[in-house]
Chain A
C-alpha cells in the first residue's frame, strides 16, 4: 500500500527558508504527479504545486516566486522549498499523490489527489 511519510513539526523565523521532504513507501513515482498542499484556518486548503517523475513542475501563480519543488527518485522522496517565509505561511503542509488519466497517444489529464501524507505543522514566528 502506498504511503507518504512526512517529517515532524517545524518552527521558523520570518525570512528563513522552509524545507520539507515527503518520502514515498511502496510505490513508484511514474504515472503520477507529486503535490504539496497547505491548510490554514483562514484560507483553507491551498494548492502549492507539483512535480512528476521526470521533474516537470507546475506551481500556483500566487506562490511561484517563492516555491521550488524537486524530486529525488533514487532516494524515493520529493521536496518543497518556500523562501522567504512570513507569519502568513504558518500552516499544516501536506504532500499528496495526484492521479493521471490517460486518454490515448500519450496524452493525459492530471486529476485528483488520492493518497495524502499525515501533514507537517509549520509555524513561522519571530
Chain B
C-alpha cells in the first residue's frame, strides 16, 4: 500500500494569513502515461463527510474558493490556503488514487490563532 504522510498534524494561523499543509507519498503517484499526479485534497468539518477541494494535485473542484491551491509532483505535495478565513477551520486530508487500495493521509487540523 502507498503510505501518505501529512505534516504538520495541526497548525494555528491568524485570519488572513497563509496556511501550508504538506503531504508525502511512499511511492510516486505520478502517472507517466498522462503526466498527472493521482492525488486529491479533502476538507472535513466536524460532523460532516470529507469534501473534495483539489484533484490531480492542482485542479480546483468547481465552487472551491481560489484561496485554496495545490502543488507538487511525484511524492511531495502541498495544499496552500492563501488567506485563512474563519470558515476554513477544518481537518484537511490528502488521498492518492494511483494504486489500489486508495489511501489517505492522517489529516492536518487547521485552527485560528
Instruction: List the interface of chain A (C-beta within 8 A of B).
Output: 44-47, 58, 60-62, 94, 96, 103, 109-114, 116-119
Contact = CB atoms under 8 A, between A and B. Distances in A.
B29 to A, nearest CB: 12
Contacts, number: 50
A45 B55 contact: no
Interface of B: 31, 33-34, 38, 40, 48-52, 55, 61, 93, 95, 97, 100-107
B82 to A, nearest CB: 22
B49 A119 contact: yes
Given A45-B93, A47-B102, A112 B34 contact: no
Contacts of B50: 45, 94, 113, 116
B107 A44 contact: yes
Contact of A103 (B34, B48, B61, B104): B34
A81 B32 CA distance: 36
A47 B98 CA distance: 14
A112 B95 contact: yes
Contact of B61 (A45, A96, A114, A117): A114
